[in-house]
Amino acid sequence: TAAMTRYVTVQRPRRVALITECSMADNVAADCPDVEFVRPCNLCPHMKKITLAGIHRSLATMTHQVTVPEGVTAAARRSIDAMLAVPAAAAVVGAR
């Protein structure tokens, strides 16, 4: 989401759709009044139910486990590994 925000604030497109949490698009729109935001906002009714306390409880007790088929797991792992590699790559670029 940081890259999306940076793109809009730096590039200043005439029109943009941020396909993410509605409140994030609202925050960027407030900072970029000259950009027209297409708002396909559909709030996930479950997203706001997630809390740090709930995450901690699930991890501490290992409850609410989700089983994912191996084919899906392999593809998801590649995506997660790529996302986790971004901060390390950014640190190397910033060190130059």
pLDDT reading at 92 higher than 60: no
Q: Do 13 and 34 have their domain in common? A: yes
Q: Do 7 and 38 have their domain in common? A: yes
Q: Do 96 and 59 have their domain in common? A: no
Q: Which domain does 43 fall in, by range? A: 1-64
User: Rounded mean pLDDT of 22-45?
Assistant: 83
What are the tens digits of pLDDT across the range 40-86? 766 677 777 888 999 899 999 998 888 889 889 999 999 899 888 87
Task: From residue 3, give the alpha-carbon distance in Å to each of 7, 8, 44, 45, 92.
Answer: 6, 9, 22, 25, 17
Q: Does residue 23 sit in helix, strand or coil?
A: helix
Q: Do 26 and 42 have their domain in common? A: yes
Q: Structural domain tally of the chain?
A: 2
User: To the nearest whole number, what is the mean pLDDT of the chain?
Assistant: 83
Q: Do 78 and 54 have their domain in common? A: no
Q: Do 22 and 6 have their domain in common? A: yes
